[in-house]
Structure 1
Amino acid sequence: MEGFQQQFIISIGIILLGYVLKRIKILKESDGQTIARIVFNITLPALVIVTFDQMEMTLSLVSLIFIAILFGFAFAAIGYFSFRNADPGVKGMAIMLVPGVNVGLFAFPLVEAIWGREGIQHFGMFDVGNAVIVFGLCYFLAGYFAKGTSTFYLREAIGPLFRSVPFLTYMFVVALNIFDLHLPGLVLDTAEIISAANMPMALLLLGLYLNFSLETSWLPFIGKYLMVKYGAGLILGFTLFWLFSDYPMLANTALIGFILPSSTTAVVYAIRYKYQTQIVGTIVNITIILSFILIWVLASFVAYH
């Protein structure tokens, strides 16, 4: 338990370092775009390659893909029901924010610190399903409510999914695993070295993106959104945690996965469909802080059970 607490303290330290470096103008928030590209396209895929190479494909791992997809659709329905009477712009913004979560950037460094490669394997499979929700369902919802039309462009929705390097890496390594194939040792050794940079870079990036600007007029909407997101997430998470009690890592993934921060991709969709981008960015930042605290509390709870 002492090592677990120490990992969280180290993680907080790196996040604060990123924030301080931004405040004293050694780094700029715009530098985060470059770091994010490195994390998503280089260090995260390297971590996935190393972690999944020796993975034994089990029913519980595969089930996480479908759990994440069902979770996304269930949360979209909850979001629609909760905000059905809101103004069209607010309704669309809320509904697109509710289903998707940030796994690769936010969860992986913490999961790696707490549960090691077994945790990465489980959350990686969860992220496969989550990618379908983030790049497919959330994109569709953002466009649908912005345009006020049922027109759905399949190519626009699926295109980003198959341009996502982490998603393609998941597909590649899972296919290798199914056919019992392995990458050459030199490739794995190189990926091992690169993957070591994923945790510190991802945490530093979170610090760069922290932004505490908040207008009081946003508070009712943000408060309701947080209640819907975390209330439903905790209820469903604890339900599956007890149902999957015979499969500890599966239970842990469901519990933590449902209370992860809102996906940063929502900011891109807000720009694309002319929602209030600043509110979306503020919500993503708030959920990063709240989810970090909740993960620390829930992981402590799990450690004692």
Structure 2
Amino acid sequence: MEGFQQQFIISVFIILLGYFFKRTKILKESDGQTIARIVFNITLPALVIVTFNQMEMTLPLVSLIFIALLFGLAAALIGYFAFRSADHNIKGMAIMMVPGVNVGLFAFPLVEAIWGREGIQHFGMFDVGNAVIVFGLCYFIASYFAKGTSKFYWRETISPLLRSIPFLTYMFVVALNVLDLHLPELFIDTAEIISVANMPLSLLLLGLYLNFSFEKSWFPLLSKYLAVKYGTGLALGFTLFWLFSDYPMLANTVLIGFILPSSTTAVVYAIRYRYDAKMVGTLVNITIILSFILIWVLASFVAYH
């Protein structure tokens, strides 16, 4: 337990360091785009390759793909009923942010620190299903409720998945495991060295993107959205946590996975469909802070159970 608390303190320190660099203008928030590209396209795929190398495919691991899909569908349905009477534009903006979560950037550095390679394997499989929700369902919701259009383009849904290097890496390493094929040792050793940078870079990036300002007029919507998102995640997470008590890592994954922060892709959709991108960005930032606190509390709870 002491090691776990120490890892969280280190993680908080690195995040605050990133925020300090932004405030002192050593780094700019715009620099985060470059760091994000390095994380998503280089260090995260390297971590996935190393972690999934020679991984034994089990039913609990595979089931996480479908659990993530079903959770996304259930969360979207709950979000629809919660915001069905809201203004058309607000409805689309709020509902699209409920189902998808941020696994690759937010969860992996913390999971790696707490549960190591086993944790990355489980959350990686969860992220396969989550990617379909983020790039498919959330995009559909954003486009359906957008002002002046109700058209849905399949090409714009499939294209991000086919261009997502982390998602393609998941598919590649899972296929290798199914076919019982292995990558050369030199390739794995190189990927392992690169993967070490994933945790500090991801945490620094979170610090760069932290923003504590928002307009008071947003408060009612922010409060309702957070209640729906975290109420849904905690209720479903604890239900499955007890149901999967015989499979500890599976139970931990759903409990933590369901309360991860909103996907940053929501900001891209907000810009694409002319929602309030500033409000969406603020919501994403708030969920980063709340999710970090909740993960610390729930991971402490898990450690005692």
> Normalized against structure 1, the TM-score is what?
0.99
Partners of 1:154 and 1:36 lie apart in 2 by 26
- What do the CA deviations read for 1:123-144 (whole angstroms, capped 9, x no partner)? 0000000000000110111011
Shift of 1:5: 0.1
**Match runs of 1:1-305 below 5 Å:** 1-147=1-147, 150-305=150-305
Shift of 1:152: 1.7
Would you say the 8 A contact 2:76–2:95 is kept in 1? yes
Would you say the 8 A contact 2:52–2:174 is kept in 1? yes
Partners of 1:243 and 1:150 lie apart in 2 by 39
Identity %: 84
Shift of 1:149: 5.0
Greater CA drift, 157-166 or 145-154: 145-154
Partners of 1:125 and 1:150 lie apart in 2 by 32
SS of alignment partner, residue 159 of structure 1? helix
SS of alignment partner, residue 245 of structure 1? coil
> Normalized against structure 2, the TM-score is what?
0.99
Shift of 1:148: 5.9
Would you say the 8 A contact 2:89–2:147 is kept in 1? no
Gaps of 5+ in 1: none
Partners of 1:18 and 1:260 lie apart in 2 by 20
Superposition RMSD on alpha carbons, in Å?
Answer: 0.7
Partners of 2:12 and 2:151 lie apart in 1 by 44
Partners of 1:153 and 1:73 lie apart in 2 by 19
Shift of 1:150: 4.4
Which amino acid in 2 is paired with 1:135? Answer: F
SS of alignment partner, residue 146 of structure 2? helix
Greater CA drift, 4-13 or 143-152: 143-152
Partners of 1:226 and 1:285 lie apart in 2 by 12
Gaps of 5+ in 2: none
SS of alignment partner, residue 263 of structure 2? coil
Shift of 1:151: 2.6
Shift of 1:147: 4.1
Partners of 1:70 and 1:159 lie apart in 2 by 22
Partners of 2:23 and 2:208 lie apart in 1 by 9
- What do the CA deviations read for 1:108-131 (whole angstroms, capped 9, x no partner)? 000000000000000000000000
Shift of 1:158: 1.0
Partners of 1:74 and 1:150 lie apart in 2 by 22
SS of alignment partner, residue 160 of structure 1? helix
- What do the CA deviations read for 1:227-271 (whole angstroms, capped 9, x no partner)? 000011100000000000000000000000000000000000000
Q: How many residues are matched?
A: 305
SS of alignment partner, residue 275 of structure 1? coil
Which amino acid in 1 is paired with 2:102? Answer: N
